[in-house]
A = this chain, B = another copy of it.
Amino acid sequence: MQIGKIIGTAVSTKKDEKLEGLRFQIVEYIEPSGESTGNHVIAVDSVGAGVGEVVLVACGSSARLTNTSKDKPVDAIIMAIVDSLEGEGKTYYQSY
């Protein structure tokens, strides 16, 4: 998985019929330190994550292993909201 921050939403009317009702979030990939990597992905939300939240994104066929995304043409899924990223004797990130 990669760590990312949700920075917005992609809106689409004309899309594959299996994609109706899915929420496409714009995710900016970040380092554990919180710094942006400069790369983005559009990921389907399966956990109710909103703009500003730090999340984990799973890509590839694994993106279809949630109830939300099963058998759908999506290659990236938000499958967890990050509370904290913790190292040995240090905290990289804390959500609140």
Using a CB–CB cutoff of 8 Å, the interface residues on chain A facing chain B are 1-3, 7-16, 18-19, 24, 26, 31-32, 40-43, 46-49, 51-52, 56, 58-66, 69, 71-77, 79-88, 90, 92
Query: Given A11-B86, A26-B85, A88-B51, does the pair A1, B74 have CB atoms closer than 8 Å?
Result: yes
- Evaluate contact between A24 and B56: CB separation under 8 angstroms: yes
Please pick, from B18, B80, B85, the residue contacting A19 in the complex, using a CB distance under 8 A.
B80
Q: In the complex, which residues of chain B have a beta carbon less than 8 angstroms from the beta carbon of A49? A: 14
Query: Given A15-B80, A88-B52, does the pair A60, B61 have CB atoms closer than 8 Å?
Result: yes
- Evaluate contact between B47 and A86: CB separation under 8 angstroms: no
Q: In the complex, which residues of chain B have a beta carbon less than 8 angstroms from the beta carbon of A88? A: 7-8, 51-52
10 additional A-B residue pairs with CB within 8 Å, beyond A1-B42, A52-B88: A1-B74, A7-B88, A9-B86, A12-B80, A16-B66, A60-B61, A62-B73, A62-B74, A64-B65, A73-B79
